[in-house]
Every structure is written in structure tokens, then in C-alpha cells.
Structure 1
């Protein structure tokens, strides 16, 4: 009996890595190409060339997030018109676009502040543009991209009414490939403890930083694993 249990334990150890590897994740090279597609087609830029904050999310067939897929106008988000997207998110009275496989947002002018693009897409958590997008395809590939990292004081603050944490918790329950991606660090958060703050995202969905069409980084941070240095502001020496 003890020998049988020993063999069973060994079999479990051999099988466990395979179970771990079976979890579907985005291909990181394909992810870089997808984010570059966003930047080429939807990025907000002032007339003077200054890049502005925006966010976009997709829910597409999962093969479009797997190895060797190359997004192009004729095979990716074909139902979305890039000019319509840019016009919608640039209009700060609404700043929101909701399409078939894509949602996007700029910043919306309120009386005393601007509503951030992440909050526009992810709130209210149970009935947001992201909720409706995810409901359209239950087991596809869902990617959320924000040009600047979510702000600590609002988006990642559990006490803020505009925080995105409940929405991320809901997204975690969605089947399929998932990725939360940012490019730059929000300028007011450079000196804050982003190691701890970003772990709030990783608790629900995998976090990535994509800096070019050829380079994305998996931020890691699950459990006791630290956030990868590429996903944190450089330390001053």
C-alpha cells in the first residue's frame, strides 16, 4: 500500500508541471504586435505631437493572441473603423467608443476633474463597457491596454469610487486568455511603491508592459514573486 501511494505521489509530481503549462496565456511576441496595432491606429496625439492618455480593450478569437498571428487591417478588428474610434475617444464630452470587438476611451471632462480612461471602460464593475464586451465571447482572448499605468490615487485605490479593482476581480472569472497591459508610467506615480500597487492587478489578471512593437515584458508578481524590474520605474543610483 505504501509503495502504491509512493508511486501515486511520483506520478502527481510528473503531471503537475504539465497542468501548469496547460493554462493558456498570450504569446508575448503577438502581444507586442497587437499593442503596436493599437498605437498605430487609435493613439491620441495633440496637434503639437504630444501623446495623450487613452485605453483600449478587445475580446477576440483566442488564435489571434497565439503564436505567429500578425494583426493587420484585413484580419484583425475588421469591424472597427480606426477614424471613428479616434474621433470618439478624442471628444472629451463623452470620450468613449464601444464596438463589436473593441472598446476604447480617452479622458472625459467633468466639472472639477477628468474621468480616467480605465475607469470609463471598467466601471460600473457589473455593467461596464468591459462587462458587455466580455459577454460577447466567453472563451476568447481579452486584452486591456492603457497608455499610462493606472493611477495609484484613484484607479488602484480601494477607497475610491472610481477604482478598477472590482472590475478586475470580475474579469478574473472570465474564461480564455487574459492580459492587462501598460506602456508608460503615470507621471505622478513614478516615486510611489508600484511594486505593491501593481500586485493588486496581478492578483486578478496577468500584467504586462509593452514598450515597442518588438518588446513586451511579463511583469510576473504572482504570490511572493516580485514584479519584474522592467515593469517598474528605474531606480536612481
Structure 2
């Protein structure tokens, strides 16, 4: 699993009907920077650990540039989530904020995004959605690993569909930052389009000017920003 340098599990019209409003990528960048600064767990070598997180927030938190994520996910809550993740523990609505988060299961090798999305109808994501208004914004942050997340029997597409089928009127975003090192030489366009066909796909990554976020697909055309850099 590649380390993530940022996060939200987690929030993303093709196969499913999406919300009328879209996510403001400038606002998304501020949110992702906050998660990176306050939630990102570290490994023993102090590198960024892989994890997934999903949060339900009022729609303004995903659309209006003057919004502040700390008003709905304060630093004390973020600190608690980070502490749990750093210990290898799960956070399934462990704070008053509508947040679920986990790292991969070290015993079963189950990936973090799979843990949050499965089993459909009984998953941590389902519990989050029960506590989230229909018109809210749900963000899911993770780093897609194509072989396991999309191509294997343990792929997350059914889990993503379960999420969106419950929120056809809301704002949703699936966000990733890093690309798994073993996928960096692959053509990922087809696989990423499969995700975007279910839930809008975004990439947020650190640049020399700070955190930058973009929507990965417009009119079925993939933004190169979301693909591995060509050597």
C-alpha cells in the first residue's frame, strides 16, 4: 500500500444520477490540506501511512470558498481520529463529527477503503449516511490501487454504488492523492473512468503552491492531472 499525503474518504452522471451542485475544487483543496495537517497518521519511520476517511458535511463546506471545515470537524475531533489511526484503531463515528476512518487491517490485509464500504447496507459508510442529511456533502478520501480496488474480487465498485444509490440528490466526491507505486507505469484511464461512472472522481495533491485539486473527468475526458506523470 502506498502512503497517502492527504485524505478524505471520502466524497465523489453516468451510471448513477448525481447531485445538481458540484464540488468547488478550491474549497476541496482547503479541506484536504486540513486533513493532511491534522489527521494524516505516520508510520514508525515517520512517513505518511495509508488510510481512508469519509465525512458528511453541510453543502456549503464543499461549495463556498469562505467555509471553514473546523466549524464542523474541529481540531480536537481531528486529533482524536489521528490518535486512533496512529494506534491502528478504527474510527466509526468516534467523535461528534460525522466521520469514519481506518487504516488497512494488518491481520486480514483488507484495504482501508474496502473496510469503510463493506458489506453494503451494513457498512461503516451506511452508518455514516444514516446520520447525514440528504442534501449534505459526503466526501471519501483514499488512494485507489487499481489491481485490488477495481480489478479484483474485492473491488470497491459495489460499495461505491451502494453509497450513491442512497444519495442521488446529494453532493458526493471520491478523492485520491497518491497513485500506488506499482500502478505508476500503467494506463489507468479506463479504470479511473469506472470509478467516475459511479461517483465523481477528484485528485488532490501537494504542489509547490500548496494543495491543488481537480475534477478528473469532464465529458468522459480524463484530466492528465489525475494520471501518472509520463517519464
2:222 is paired with a residue whose SS is coil
Residue deviations 1:46-76 (CA, integer Å, cap 9, x gap): 2432111111111111111112234253x13
State the match for 1:109 in structure 2.
106
Q: Which of 216, 230, 233 matches 2:213?
A: 216
State the match for 1:5 in structure 2.
none
Q: Could you list the runs of 5+ residues in structure 2 that have no partner in the other structure?
A: 1-18
TM-score, scaled relative to structure 2: 0.81
Compared CA separation, residues 57 and 124, structure 1 to 2 (3 A): same
Residue deviations 1:12-52 (CA, integer Å, cap 9, x gap): xxxxxxxxxx9201111101111111111110112432111
Shift in Å, 1:106: 1.0
Question: Does residue 110 of structure 2 align to residue 118 of structure 1?
Answer: no
1:103 is paired with a residue whose SS is strand
CA distance in 2, matches of 1:33, 1:135: 26
State the match for 1:36 in structure 2.
33
State the match for 2:199 in structure 1.
205
Query: Computing the radius of gyration over CA atoms, which structure comes out larger, 1 or 2?
Result: 1
2:172 is paired with a residue whose SS is strand
CA distance in 1, matches of 2:69, 2:56: 16
State the match for 2:48 in structure 1.
51
State the match for 1:178 in structure 2.
172
CA distance in 2, matches of 1:178, 1:221: 16
Aligned length: 204
Q: Could you list the runs of 5+ residues in structure 1 that have no partner in the other structure?
A: 1-21
State the match for 2:156 in structure 1.
164
2:149 is paired with a residue whose SS is coil
Alignment check: 8 A CA contact 2:120 2:126 kept? yes
Alignment check: 8 A CA contact 2:85 2:91 kept? yes
Alignment check: 8 A CA contact 1:195 1:226 kept? no
Shift in Å, 1:79: 9.2
Structure 1 ranges of 4+ moved more than 3 A? none
